[in-house]
Amino acid sequence: MKVTDRMTPGDILKVEQEILTALKGVFDPEIPVNVYDLGLIYEIDFEPSGAARVVMTLTAPNCPMADQLVEDVKIAVAGVDGVSEVELSLTFEPPWDKSMLSDEAKLELGLL
């Protein structure tokens, strides 16, 4: 998709949906569930300029795989057609807890 200032809101939503799909392909190395269904992604924002902003958290602030997970998310988002820049922010507010898991993740982890 060619990124221009004339992108429609529908075009922007399409890229955001493709970013979401890409994030569902990124798995936490310690848990067999993708970062989106784990509830680690708090916000996805895409601008017509090609800049994508992702706000995410980790299951724990001292996650030993944090650097790898953040890098995997950046690579996945950068690979989406139309994305020319990725800004990733880590936050721990609100802190992650099991209630943020999707039903698919709960099923995969045997919590349903």
pTM value? 0.89
pLDDT one-digit tens code per residue, 26-38? 998 888 899 999 9
In order of their start, the domains of the chain are 14-107 (3.30.300.130)
- The full 3-state SS of the chain, as one line of letters, equals CCCCCCCCHHHHHHHHHHHHHHHCCCECCCCCCECCCCCCEEEEEECCCCEEEEEECCCCCCCCCHHHHHHHHHHHHHCCCCCCEEEEEECCCCCCCHHHCCHHHHHHCCCC
At 33-84, the pLDDT tens digits run 999 999 999 999 999 999 999 999 999 989 888 999 999 999 999 999 999 9
pLDDT band at 5 (very low <50, low <70, confident <90, very high): low
